[in-house]
Chains A and B, each alone.
Chain A
Amino acid sequence: MDTKQLKQKIVFTIFGMMSFVVVAILVIILGFIVFRGIGAISWEFLTTAPKDGMTKGGIFPAIVGTGCLVIGSMIFAFPVGILSGIYIHEYLPENWWKKFLRMMTNNLAGVPSIVFGLFGMALFVNYLKFGDSILAGSLTLGILALPVVIRLTEEALKAVPDGLRLGSYALGASKIQTIQKVVLPVAFPNILTGLILSIGRVSGETAPILFTVAAYFLPRLPESISDQVMALPYHLYVLATSGTNMEETRPMAYGTALVLVSIVLIINLSASLLRRKIQKKNKMN
């Protein structure tokens, strides 16, 4: 083997090892959480409220709370994000306003989530007087998800070949007809995947809900959008840091982590399955 080949071999071996590190980290994290958390998982854990200073019982209110927040935030983030993504990518010409909008979106994505939490508290909880509520928490999480939704929508639209747009214009279709009838149906599977991935992101956020909705201990279920709720990520934080009996709440914390991670994994997995299914169906019809 000459030095050229040897060099190449060494370089790619190092690259390969690095990618192995990535996989290893994920496997270790998941393995650790499963190992420590699986003991806490039971039907009771999933379906009842915590009791006895959160050392017993389950996390059902937190699961419901996270569900409410995810749905609420998506009701806000999906329409706003998708429509502005379409506007930016399909409608705006390459001018300063488009560049400005892109820059703003990217900056919004770079804002630390605790800042969103603080902002949400100032605007929704205090100024708009929503109080600590599902409404305030959902809107805060929705703002957090917004740049992700916009960018993924743009990416999905970018992947639609320009030839299809030209073909549609050449037949006398207007821009909105072209978007409606050709561009969006093609982009839809990718947009959908993006949306589901953003759900995964939102369901794990702690900081934005800290001051806007999350309850330390609230065994009853919410009745309206002005109620507070427990949420999985915050509950995990509480169990790990501020329980009354740390030794006994520790297994509960790992159980909660396992549930949270499982939910996110299931969401991400369903995203790719759904996309594959739609793409197959698109080809059939």
Chain B
Amino acid sequence: MTHAEVKNVNVWYDTIHALKDVSLKFEPNTVTALIGPSGCGKSTFLRLFNRMNDLIPSFRMDGTVMVNNQDVYSKEIRIDEIRKNVGMVFQKPNPFPKSIFENVAYGLRVNGINNKAVVEETVERSLRQSALWDEVKDVLKKSALELSGGQQQRLCIARALAVEPKLILMDEPASSLDPISTARIEELIFELKKTYTIILVTHNLQQAGRISDLTAFFYLGELIEYNLTKKLFLNPDNVQTQNYITGRFG
């Protein structure tokens, strides 16, 4: 059973209190959208799960983050183990300047899996899952940089899937893509939630409404409302949420 949970988390960057006592539980096989104006802490929140915030020297936190019943910030746990179990897709497609095949195989190779048959099978499965296989199966040796932006982003999704994560984090995965590529990514997210739990940061409220089951609204580092997406967009409990989704600020 996939499980992600955040309990009483506070985050600081130097003296800036970026997340204030946030607690949230994520259901398996759902898509949860994190929305809120820039600087509200939603990206910081997303990066708690694979400890990407650790790369920022001024980052400090307390509270608990659990993924799969494992304390992500426990001292005994190895950071690369965590990152292997949590896939991440970034705002801008960031394929490595390697072949399409090697991009997907990368996560396996750095985790010590080099068996040729296993690698080939995983690459194919991941590319199929990310709906890219039919477009690239004959050109797997070609540089990933020659793909279109939308294809590159689906390649990055395949790359994340290859290490079989439990949880997938997406940081505005479609914000740099054209509408057609965006639609494909959204369809893909819809497919992927059958297998994975997805947490998605988006600035695009329509997108959150279209693809997420649950939505969390952040404002000034606080979690204002966490609700079913339908409920949150049609009839939010909180007046601040109401103001944000109707465009009164943000």
Contact = CB atoms under 8 A, between A and B. Distances in A.
A163 B90 contact: yes
Interface string B50-64: 101001010000000
A169 interface: yes
Interface string B15-59: 000000000000000000000000000000000001010010100
Given A163-B92, A181-B110, A170 B97 contact: no
B96 A170 contact: no
Contact of A186 (B57, B87, B97, B106): B97
Contact of A171 (B55, B107, B145, B146): B107
Interface in A148-202: 161, 163-164, 166-174, 177, 181-182, 185-186
A170 B80 contact: no
Contacts of A172: 80-81, 83-84, 107, 110-111, 163
Interface string A129-164: 000000000000000000000000000000001011
B97 A181 contact: no
Contacts of A182: 96
A247 interface: no
A110 interface: no
Interface in B69-84: 80-81, 83-84
B127 interface: no
Contacts of B55: 166, 169
A181 B106 contact: yes
Give chain A's interface secondary structure class. helix
Contact of B97 (A169, A173, A282): A282
Interface size for chain A: under 10, 10 to 19, 20 to 34, or 35 or more residues? 20 to 34
B94 interface: yes
A2 interface: no
A171 B98 contact: no
A164 B141 contact: no
A221 B94 CA distance: 53
Contact of A168 (B92, B110, B143): B110
A283 interface: yes
B99 interface: yes
Contact of A174 (B88, B97, B110, B141): B110
Interface of B: 50, 52, 55, 57, 80-81, 83-84, 86-88, 90, 92, 94-99, 106-107, 109-111, 141, 143, 145-146, 156, 159-160, 163
Q: What 9 A-B pairs come out closest when comparing CB atoms?
A: A172-B84, A163-B94, A171-B107, A173-B110, A170-B88, A172-B80, A167-B94, A172-B83, A177-B110
22 contacts: A94-B57, A166-B52, A166-B94, A167-B94, A168-B110, A170-B87, A170-B160, A171-B106, A171-B110, A171-B159, A171-B163, A172-B80, A172-B84, A172-B107, A174-B110, A177-B110, A181-B96, A185-B98, A282-B143, A283-B146, A285-B141, A285-B143
